[in-house]
């Protein structure tokens, strides 16, 4: 058995406690900076954080953070934005498919009707802007509602292709389930923010 000092000197990944501390510190600084600046250019830069710094850099900071934390919540918002940015046409189609079965969530999300690729991109950017300029809980709830409509659209797509392509239907169903989980995590985070417990 190695003694603790020798074990600490072995090369390896960053200490999980240090990684968590850095994740919380950076998330807190980013949110506070955005809220304090009251400058649209600063907010725009923060919304484009993944575009400017790279997805891998942001992932290294926050991807291991639990959902019920500020860095975990920001990570989930940026992942949602990245998906919309990379595949706006598919996202818009799934949103249109799900909107009639998830009307309440559509109202909360606030997407124009019928949404196109540019509209869903604008919505996700508006939600992220709300993190820095508005009520963070509302921004998280809007993102959750958006994810729920997308989950409904994905499930409907799965039903539509099940007879022709069982593997694709399975992938779509699994994706819908992931979106529901994402929505639940964002809703929980919104409640934690309101109660002052989203650290």
Contact 85, 48 (CB under 8 A): no
And the tokens for 134? 């508005």
- Interior CA angle at 72 toward 125 and 199, to 5°? 110
Distance of CA 63 to the CA centre of its chain: 11
pLDDT exceeds 60 at position 79:
yes
101 torsion bin: left (phi>0), alpha (psi -120 to 50), beta (else): alpha
Tell me what pLDDT residue 181 has: 97
Instruction: State mean pLDDT over 139-163.
Output: 95
pLDDT exceeds 80 at position 10:
no
10 backbone dihedrals φ, ψ, rounded to 5°: -70, 140
3-state helix, strand and coil shares in percent for the chain, rounded to the nearest 5: 80, 0, 20
**Strand, coil or helix: 113:** coil
pLDDT exceeds 70 at position 6:
no
In the chain, domain spans:
4-194
CA distance 65 to 158: 30
CA distance 73 to 120: 20
Could you tell me what percent of the chain has a pLDDT over 70? 93
Contact 45, 52 (CB under 8 A): yes
Tell me what pLDDT residue 38 has: 79
Q: Whole-prediction pTM value?
A: 0.88
And the tokens for 142? 């809007």
Cis peptide bond N-terminal to 114, omega within 30? yes
Contact 154, 94 (CB under 8 A): yes
For 134, other C-beta atoms within 10 Å of its C-beta total 14
Tell me what pLDDT residue 196 has: 95
- For the chain, counts of helices (H) and of strands (E): 11, 0
pLDDT exceeds 50 at position 59:
yes
Per-residue model confidence as pLDDT tens digits over 18-45: 889 999 999 999 998 888 887 889 999 9
Instruction: State mean pLDDT over 182-187.
Output: 97
Per-residue model confidence as pLDDT tens digits over 83-118: 999 999 999 999 999 998 988 888 888 888 878 999
């Amino acid at each position: 058995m190695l003694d603790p000092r020798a074990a600490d000197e072995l090369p390896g990944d960053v200490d999980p406690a240090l990684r968590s501390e850095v994740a919380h510190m950076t998330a807190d600084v980013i949110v506070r900076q955005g809220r304090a600046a009251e400058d649209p250019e600063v907010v725009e830069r923060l919304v484009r954080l993944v575009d400017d710094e790279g997805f891998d850099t942001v992932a290294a900071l926050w991807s291991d953070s639990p959902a019920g934390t500020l860095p975990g919540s920001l990570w989930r918002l940026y992942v949602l934005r990245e998906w919309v940015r990379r595949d706006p046409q598919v996202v818009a189609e799934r949103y249109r498919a799900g909107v009639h079965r998830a009307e309440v969530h559509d109202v909360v999300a606030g997407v124009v009707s019928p949404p196109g690729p540019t509209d869903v991109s604008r919505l996700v950017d508006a939600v992220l802007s709300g993190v820095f300029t508005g009520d963070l809980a509302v921004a998280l709830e809007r993102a959750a509602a958006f994810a729920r409509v997308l989950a409904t659209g994905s499930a409907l797509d799965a039903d539509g292709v099940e007879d022709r392509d069982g593997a694709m239907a399975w992938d779509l169903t699994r994706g819908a389930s992931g979106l529901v989980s994402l929505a639940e995590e964002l809703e929980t985070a919104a409640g934690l923010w309101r109660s002052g417990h989203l650290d």
